[in-house]
Amino acid sequence: GYYADRWKKLLIPMSSPTKAYFDTSDQDPFCMYNYLLDITTWNKIIRRGFIKVKITDYAGNTVESEMNSEASTFQQYKRVKILTGFYQDLDKISKISLTFSTKTLIGPKYKLRILQMRLKYLNNPER
């Protein structure tokens, strides 16, 4: 690993291509597999909350993303992009599930109506 204030002078001078994980896990091998969730909702009322993504491959293996530390704001017909990371990589995804949470214990539970969703793998954009 590299200290956050020193990564540029350590990695940029290397002549070979370098992969750097800025959002790391606390488990060996310490890398995260990052996806960009691009989501458009059609709720009439603005909703603020957190989204967890669960992906499943054709063999039935399932991994769940880490919850983002900041709430996202979802407005009707507005695109929201969320960076989400997984501790494990699944090659061929057969199913994607989302869980929306406001993280409040009291009060009503809200649903998020999704108009369009795209999940893009950032480690290998061809996938």
CATH code at position 74:
2.60.60.20
- The whole-angstrom separation of Cα 127 and Cα 119 is 10
Taking Cα atoms as reference points, which of 100, 90, 89, 92 lies closest to residue 25? 89
Give the number of domains in the chain: 1
Q: Is residue 40 part of a domain?
A: yes
Assess if residue 84 is contained within a domain: yes
φ/ψ (deg, to 5) at 120: -115, 130
Sheet containing strand 114-121, strands side by side: 79-86, 33-41, 114-121
Q: How confident is the model at residue 3 (pLDDT cuts 50, 70, 90)?
A: low
pLDDT of amino acid 18 = 57
Interatomic CA distance for residues 29 and 88, integer angstroms: 10
pLDDT in tens, 45-97: 898 888 899 999 999 999 998 767 788 999 999 999 988 888 888 888 999 99
Residue 109: closest CA among 49, 52, 68, 39: 49
pLDDT value of position 17: 58
pLDDT in tens, 95-117: 999 988 887 767 667 788 999 99
Residue 2 to residue 31: CA distance in whole angstroms: 13
In terms of residue numbers, what domain contains 77?
A: 31-121
Q: Tens digit of pLDDT for each residue in 5-57?
A: 666 666 666 665 555 555 666 666 667 788 889 999 998 889 888 889 999 99
From first CA to last CA, the distance across the chain in angstroms is 27
User: Quick check: is 2 in a domain?
Assistant: no
